Amino acid sequence: MILYFSGTGNSLAIARRLAERLDEQVMSLYDAAGKDLTHEKRIGLVFPTYNLEAPKAVRTLVPQLHLSPSSHVWIVITCGAQTNNAIWTVRSLLRKQGVRVGYCHKIRVPDSSAIAFGRNPNDQAWKFDKFASRLTTIGDELAAGRKRLHFAGFDPFGWLISHTRLEEKMGALAQPGVNEAACIGCGICAKVCPQENIALTDKKAHIGNACTWCLGCVHFCPQQAIMVNGKTVAKEQQYHHPDIQLKDMLKR
Ligand SMILES: Cc1cc2nc3c(=O)[nH]c(=O)nc-3n(C[C@H](O)[C@H](O)[C@H](O)COP(=O)(O)O)c2cc1C
Ligand code: SF4
Ligand code: SF4
């Protein structure tokens, strides 16, 4: 079983490709939380790095997993550049439940938060070449049952961010906000939001306080009506992994 969290489809695309390679099923971490998965011999976790850490939502969901200490557990993490403390944190959360991670690795993909800094994630499509070869390596190593811990070290800076109010401050740089004049009340953002953090009132989207900064709502809004940190995002800046379509994000 491969459990995933994904905002713009990068992590979902990898979870699916590895599922094909390893003949596994894919399940959202939200669906997996609270379920008895102790019968699963192999458990994979695929999720992104946000703000030098594992996403807040992942850090909330992982402690709710029921896994067997004898399962072979692995982590593959996506990032724009570096994973910082993300793998260390999730390994630590699993260790508290007596579950050891036997393998971890990272894959670089277009940075979905580039829009928050006025850059276009689609300009980073060159990363897909390396992505493909890294994915093949990871698939081969997992199929062979290799035990290797890549990028699993402790990063004090990442730890500091997730253990202080710094995370909220960094999150504010990627804070979504609705431009009501542009919103047509289609409800797509509310269906895409993994945190159920968007409600529709009077045919306008309203964002609550449970954001995990995945930016799914921003990238999938058909009207570009969700701003990031107060800045409007152009259609050509909207990004999702090319293998993943809106319908895939709605299935969760
Ligand atoms: C709010 C936010 C913060 C991010 N922070 C980092 C980071 O600290 N380091 C990094 O390498 N990538 C960072 N990224 C890029 C994502 O890790 C990368 O695009 C990831 O593949 C997104 O996966 P997803 O589409 O499954 O959500 C960030 C993305 C977002 C939305
Ligand atoms: S997806 Fe965009 S247009 Fe549709 S309800 Fe959300 S903000 Fe409004
Ligand atoms: S409100 Fe938008 S950015 Fe925040 S969790 Fe929901 S979809 Fe992600």
58 lines ligand 1 (CB under 6 A): no
Q: What is the mean pLDDT of residues 202-226?
A: 97
Q: Closest residue (by CA) to atom 2 of ligand 3?
A: 217
CA 171, 220, 16: angle at the middle one, nearest 5? 90
Question: Does this chain's domain 2-162 share its CATH topology with 171-250?
Answer: no
Domain boundaries, the chain: 2-162, 171-250
What single letter denotes the amino acid at residue 99? V
Looking at the structure, give the CATH architecture of the domain made up of residues 2-162.
3-Layer(aba) Sandwich (3.40)
pLDDT at 207 over 90: yes
Predicted confidence at residue 248, as pLDDT, reads: 95
Q: What is the mean pLDDT of residues 32-57?
A: 96
80 lines ligand 1 (CB under 6 A): yes
Q: What is the mean pLDDT of residues 100-106?
A: 97
Give the model's confidence band at 160: pLDDT under 50 very low, under 70 low, under 90 confident, else very high.
Answer: confident
> How far does the centroid of ligand 2 lie from the alpha carbon of residue 115, in Å?
18
Q: Which two tokens stand for residue 172?
A: 């504010």
218 lines ligand 2 (CB under 6 A): no
Predicted confidence at residue 234, as pLDDT, reads: 97
Quote the percentage of the chain above a pLDDT of 90.
Answer: 88
Predicted confidence at residue 169, as pLDDT, reads: 87
Give, in order, the Cα–Cα distances in Å from 14 to each of 32, 61, 180, 196.
Answer: 18, 19, 34, 24
**CATH of the structural domain 171-250, one choice from 3.40.50.300, 3.30.300.210, 3.30.70.20, 3.60.9.10:** 3.30.70.20
3-state secondary structure of 78: strand
Interval 242-251: pLDDT, tens: 999 999 998 6
Q: Closest residue (by CA) to atom 8 of ligand 3?
A: 214
Predicted confidence at residue 225, as pLDDT, reads: 98
Quote the percentage of the chain above a pLDDT of 70.
Answer: 99
Q: Among all ligands shown, which has an atom nearest to the Cα of 47?
A: 1
> How far does the centroid of ligand 2 lie from the alpha carbon of residue 183, in Å?
5
Predicted confidence at residue 214, as pLDDT, reads: 97
pLDDT at 218 over 70: yes
Q: Among all ligands shown, which has an atom nearest to the Cα of 205?
A: 2
pLDDT at 94 over 80: yes
Ligand 1 atom closest to residue 111's alpha carbon, by position in its atom list: 19
